[in-house]
Structure 1
């Protein structure tokens, strides 16, 4: 099957022409233009394939059967494993610390790859996909071979897809939040739009450091333990830290409101927020990223894959911040914005 048949180019282009004649919406035209790019369509389908593999990795590569009839009772071990992990169920005594492969089933349906990445085949170590393998049948064949310890390579790739996508999505999500926040503030306010008096500046700075101390400093051990436990626990504890941070900053915002009610003529000064954020970006960029990641990871009590996601997110936001700042500056200088501000 060639590329022409793969993407149905001719049929798609005819459909696009017909839809353009019907005055379709903006997003319809965007979708049409996207479908014209065959490489983009192929990459999107490839990403969807990776997402599918990541979501159903436990059903594609697992040492447990998908469906099994054992002693006249029907079981769904892979599904039950989720319930056991969530604490909603427990394994029967005959299924604890047992080799699922050696049980005598009345009926069984195995995954495509009947191995987990942690399973070790001591007989077939360091074998290739085309090498002779000492297995009972082709069902237990290592289709991409094994490593030097006997781990199935294909099972590792399937389950590794989940980790790879999770690292990319979470780390870039954190980087996007930080980058968009700082970039938007720098681009919107610039160096002359944000004006505050001295008491307001002192209150906000003091409130910020107090909020960081109580929300993240005093709870650093709680956050570290949550990272070592599970990603869900970390998200919950991080949510409470952010909520505490927002509450403290809200308190100081109310305090500033009452301070400004005092009839004292404090002169407002311009805060060069754009310069400050730009210098912060330059400082982060000037530090070698690998060195920064290693330094942050060294102070973490319980390193895990989740802390790696957070570290990558905290060290890769500068590019997003620069792009966001540039877009805000461009939009702020458009004619209709200047006309509305006049």
Structure 2
């Protein structure tokens, strides 16, 4: 038995798969619940005669659902703190230098001990790791999701229609391009400058309705149409993106964004990552679009888009799933690299890469390099 076959059998063993699922599940829980695992606000408290959840209020205010509220800690009758009673960017007034996990710490009790130490600003390392997990998962999942959507869309169209198969209404093309340009601007601008969940969703919904109405009320049969060389356009864009070093693309887009934000990193990684999905989907569609079952679907009168989404896409999606996991890990590593270099996310947000960058300037603080590096 070759070494490759032996390795494959070991990876496919039930025990290894079970351990991998548990590890992924733990990271997902930590990332999704990071605000309630590490926070300096109580999970539950009695404040001014009523029971409330300051941590939940703070979380909802961060995503723009409710207004922010300032709590006076002296008015808490009782409170239940999170497992880690520190937020990622909370400065400890008692600790103004980096303290190791084995050093003596000036804390009121073991409940408030910094179990993995602090950085040079007194911020808790364990809280930073938890918050960094949230950032890593957010960047990895969202950037790959957007890359996958764009790559699937362009890969399906370019592989199925080629350069002469997709005829589009000239008026719909011109007006649709204008609507998409305005939509992208008004959708992305508030995210970059002042992120707001409902503002983003409302604008996305409005732009989608306008586009659907456009193609509904301007039928191609009554207006002049042209053959759009979608395959040529897609392949040339991919060639251009692949010919430019990734670092140059990142620096170019970072220069466009005036305000650092995690959404900037997500958008940049999405732009960099979609070509790999588009190439794979295009290759799969080129292999199957002339097969007998596709020709049979055409002969019974199914539309092109029915054939694409009911027959072509299910066969192409299997290959896409296999590279999605690698794309997520690559996006997380790229975000950590940008944070390590001080690019992308705001400096006041703690991530795995920013913690490693702190270790670079403080060689004696081994815990700043060990725990985030793991």
Q: Distance in 1 between matches of 2:45 and 2:180?
A: 53
Contact 2:99/2:118, CA 8 A, preserved across alignment: yes
Q: Is 1:229 aligned to residue 197 of structure 2?
A: no
Q: Is 1:58 aligned to residue 35 of structure 2?
A: yes
Partner of 2:321: none
Task: Report the CA distance between 1:116 and its aligned residue.
Answer: 0.6
Q: Is 1:211 aligned to residue 188 of structure 2?
A: no
Change (3 A) 1:257 1:228: same
Partner of 1:310: 267
Please show how residues 7-26 of structure 1 align to structure 2 within 5 Å: none
Q: Is 1:121 aligned to residue 87 of structure 2?
A: no
1:231-286 CA distance string (max 9 Å, x none): 413343344334444444555x42x32236xxxxxxx9866533332222111221
Partner of 2:207: 241
Q: Distance in 1 between matches of 2:279 and 2:116?
A: 43
Change (3 A) 1:212 1:71: closer
Q: Is 1:109 aligned to residue 80 of structure 2?
A: yes
Displaced runs of 4+ in structure 1, greater than 6 A? none
Q: Distance in 2 between matches of 1:335 and 1:141?
A: 68
Please show how residues 33-182 of structure 1 align to structure 2 within 5 Å: 36-69=13-46, 74-82=51-59, 88=66, 91=69, 96=71, 98=72, 100=73, 103=74, 107-124=78-95, 125-182=97-154
Name the TM-score, length of structure 2 as normaliser.
0.66
Task: Report the CA distance between 1:324 and its aligned residue.
Answer: 0.7
Q: Distance in 1 between matches of 2:294 and 2:262?
A: 45
RMSD after superposition: 3.2
Change (3 A) 1:338 1:80: closer
Change (3 A) 1:317 1:38: farther
Structure 2: tracts of 5 or more residues without a match: 1-10, 300-374
- Tell me the SS of whatever aligns to 2:45: strand
- Tell me the SS of whatever aligns to 1:156: helix
Name the TM-score, length of structure 1 as normaliser.
0.71
- Tell me the SS of whatever aligns to 1:316: helix
- Max radius of gyration: which structure? 1
Change (3 A) 1:238 1:286: farther
Contact 2:187/2:204, CA 8 A, preserved across alignment: no
Change (3 A) 1:309 1:235: farther
Structure 1: tracts of 5 or more residues without a match: 1-33, 261-267
Question: How many residues are treated as equivalent by the alignment?
Answer: 286
Change (3 A) 1:36 1:337: farther
